[in-house]
């Protein structure tokens, strides 16, 4: 085994390094891979699903459970189709498309640089393009049995509209007073013309959204509160502060109903891209749903008897995008003294898919090592591995971000201790077997 001092390290430079690692180790790979995949759809494997669930649970803990002023919900992906009339999606949620009359291909009018050469005009890059036409990005489907009674419905293109649909019911059931929020995590779908950048722009994705309802006089204060809270969250995930920034939308970028908008951006190898948006949506959503549903979603101030439509501050984070940022940020290749190199994922222990690997130094030690790993498994996600030399087993864990490796050796039988190796520093502690669970709890779980 090479010396475990790192002489140089470099970070992720090209996405294909990460895409390859993700497939090989079972983080993320194309959906329906044996059928050649399906463009814009991805499956999370055994390690990816743990990372994603850890991220979702952290968000839920922070935004819903630790606060008394935010309620969670889990709404259906298919909502009443009038929802999308009220939100404006049926009319406006579309991209401008152009067709090439020669090669019959279709392109986004605002991304013509991606269009390549016209295959119908040998050696030419010149397409023969139509005028742009709009193409709605919602996936549609039909509900019901009989042709005539069947209703066209849509897979939601964002999770937030259900939070407005459920506003009245949730407020009454939870007896919340303003200001308060409603939050959910769930799948959304957009029929993107050009899915790209791995899981960054896909057709099926997961969002964690929160709508915070407040009195008009308090909107600026709450916008600032949530902008700061959400930025703090991304820092707490361990993302490199130098690769995180906020970007305020200029006035001419804002949607007509939007008073202020800030994006949280991360610097991926393919550039700075939005991973979260914090928007002051004003009273647009509740007013529109009041109008379209005929249900008054306004509120009466019990003291002043003033009647008003609450203002909405929205926080909307892409779960897949944030997972991708976490993986891209954590990817490090170290050159070690002795010429060896190691790839590691410096993932925050709370996000790491595997918390601890139990590695007996020899297969002869399998029985007590199994006893140890089975005990830890009730509390932590444990990986047991007794195959191959110990250095190689460490490397395999480094590569998937396991923060701690517990080595059970021949001395352990006598002294009742094991060696715990930390991923990033490769430093080692000798710890009593009885104390391993507490040692790990202090380092991988949030303070209670």
Q: Residue 164, class by beta-carbon neighbours within 10 Å (0-12 exposed, 13-18 middle, 19+ buried)?
A: buried
Near a copy of itself in 253-292, by CB under 8 A: 289, 292
Site for a copy of itself in 85-114 (CB under 8 A): 97, 99, 104-106
Q: From the list 4, 6, 18, 42, which residue makes contact with a copy of itself (rule: CB under 8 A)?
A: 42
Question: Considering only 121-129, 160-168, 273-281, 335-343, which stretch makes contact with a copy of itself by CB under 8 A?
Answer: 160-168
The verdict on 140 binding a copy of itself (CB under 8 A) reads: yes
Q: Which of 297, 296, 241, 295 is nearest to 264 (CA)?
A: 241
Minimum Å gap between C-beta 261 and a copy of itself is 26
| Residue number, 79 or 214, with CB nearest to a copy of itself | 79
Name the burial class of residue 193, with classes exposed (0-12), middle (13-18) and buried (19+) by CB atoms within 10 angstroms of its CB: middle
Please tell me whether residue 75 binds a copy of itself under the rule CB under 8 A.
yes
Single residue of 122, 125, 131, 146 touching a copy of itself by CB under 8 A: 146
Kindly tell me which of 243 and 368 has the beta carbon lying closer to a copy of itself: 368
Distance of CA 262 to the CA centre of its chain: 18
Q: How far apart are CA 427 and CA 4, in angstroms?
A: 9
Strands across the sheet with 428-432, in order?
Answer: 382-384, 356-360, 404-408, 417-422, 428-432
DSSP 8-class letter at 65 = I
Region 162-191 residues binding a copy of itself, contact defined as CB under 8 A: 162, 165-166, 168-170, 173-174, 184, 187, 189, 191
Tell whether residue 50 is a contact of a copy of itself (CB under 8 A): yes
196 vs 202: CA distance, rounded Å: 7
CA distances from 393 to 1, 25, 189, 332, 385 (A): 11, 14, 39, 18, 7
Compose the 297-336 pattern: x for residues touching a copy of itself by CB under 8 A, - for all others: x---------------------------------------
How far apart (Å, rounded) are the C-alpha atoms in residues 21 and 26? 8
Please report whether residue 23 would count as binding a copy of itself according to CB under 8 A. yes
Residues 346-375 within binding reach of a copy of itself (CB under 8 A): 373
Which position has the token pair 């069947």?
150
| Size of the chain in residues | 448
- Please give the Cα distance from 416 to 357 (Å, whole number): 18
Q: Copy the structure tokens of residue 142.
A: 């039909």
| Of 246 and 293, CB closest to a copy of itself | 293
The answer to the question of residue 232 lying near a copy of itself (CB under 8 A) is no
**Is the CB of 416 or the CB of 446 nearer to a copy of itself?**
446
Nearest in space to 151 (alpha carbons), one of 85, 96, 81, 71 = 81
Among 65, 232, 235, 307, indicate the residue that binds a copy of itself (CB under 8 A).
65
**Can you tell me which of 6, 18, 25, 398 binds a copy of itself, judged by CB under 8 A?**
25
- Give the shortest CB-394-to-a copy of itself separation in angstroms: 16
Binding-site member from 48, 179, 277, 282 for a copy of itself (CB under 8 A): 48
- Find the shortest distance in angstroms from Cβ 330 to a copy of itself: 18
How many chain residues bind a copy of itself (CB under 8 A)? 92
Please pick, from the candidates 4, 52, 325, 357, the single residue that binds a copy of itself as defined by CB under 8 A.
52
- Is the separation of the CB atoms in 423 and 398 below 8 Å? yes
């Amino acid at each position: 085994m090479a010396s475990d001092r790192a002489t140089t390290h470099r970070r992720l430079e090209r996405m294909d390094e990460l895409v390859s690692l993700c497939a090989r180790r079972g983080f993320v790979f194309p959906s329906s891979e044996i059928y050649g995949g399906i463009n814009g759809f991805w499956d999370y494997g055994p390690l990816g699903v743990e990372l994603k669930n850890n991220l979702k649970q952290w968000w839920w803990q922070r935004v819903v459970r630790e606060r008394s002023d935010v309620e969670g919900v889990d709404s259906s992906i298919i909502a009443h189709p009038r929802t999308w009339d009220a939100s404006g999606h049926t009319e406006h949620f579309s991209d401008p498309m152009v067709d090439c009359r020669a090669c019959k291909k279709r392109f986004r009018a605002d991304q013509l640089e991606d269009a390549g050469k016209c295959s119908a005009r040998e050696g030419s890059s010149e397409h023969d393009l139509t005028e742009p036409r709009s193409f709605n990005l919602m996936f549609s489907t039909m509900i019901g049995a009989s042709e005539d009674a069947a209703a066209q419905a849509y897979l939601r293109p964002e999770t937030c509209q259900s939070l407005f649909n459920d506003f009245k019911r949730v407020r009454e059931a939870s007896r919340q007073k303003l200001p308060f929020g409603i939050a959910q995590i769930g799948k959304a779908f957009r029929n993107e013309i050009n899915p790209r950048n791995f899981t960054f722009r896909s057709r099926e994705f997961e969002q964690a959204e929160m709508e915070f309802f407040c009195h008009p006089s308090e909107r600026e204060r709450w916008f600032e509160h949530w902008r700061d809270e959400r930025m703090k969250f991304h820092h707490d995930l361990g993302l490199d502060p130098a690769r995180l920034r906020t970007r305020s939308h200029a006035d001419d970028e804002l949607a007509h109903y939007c008073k202020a908008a800030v994006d949280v951006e991360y610097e991926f190898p393919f550039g700075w891209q939005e991973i979260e948006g914090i928007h002051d949506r004003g009273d647009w959503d509740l007013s529109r749903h009041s109008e379209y549903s005929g249900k008054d979603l306004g509120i009466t101030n019990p003291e002043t008897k003033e009647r008003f439509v609450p203002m909405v501050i929205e926080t909307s984070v892409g779960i897949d995008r944030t997972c991708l940022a976490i993986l891209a940020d954590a990817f490090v290749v170290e050159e070690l003294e002795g010429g060896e190199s190691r790839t590691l994922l410096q993932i925050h222990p709370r996000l790491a898919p595997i918390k601890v690997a139990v590695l007996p130094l020899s297969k002869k030690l399998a029985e007590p090592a199994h006893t140890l790993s089975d005990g830890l498994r009730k509390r932590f996600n444990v990986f047991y591995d007794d195959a191959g030399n110990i250095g190689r087993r460490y490397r395999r864990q480094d590569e998937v971000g396991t923060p701690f490796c517990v080595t059970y050796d021949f001395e352990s039988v006598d002294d009742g201790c094991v060696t715990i190796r930390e991923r990033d520093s490769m430093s080692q502690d000798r710890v009593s077997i009885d104390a391993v669970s507490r040692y790990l709890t202090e380092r991988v779980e949030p303070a209670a």
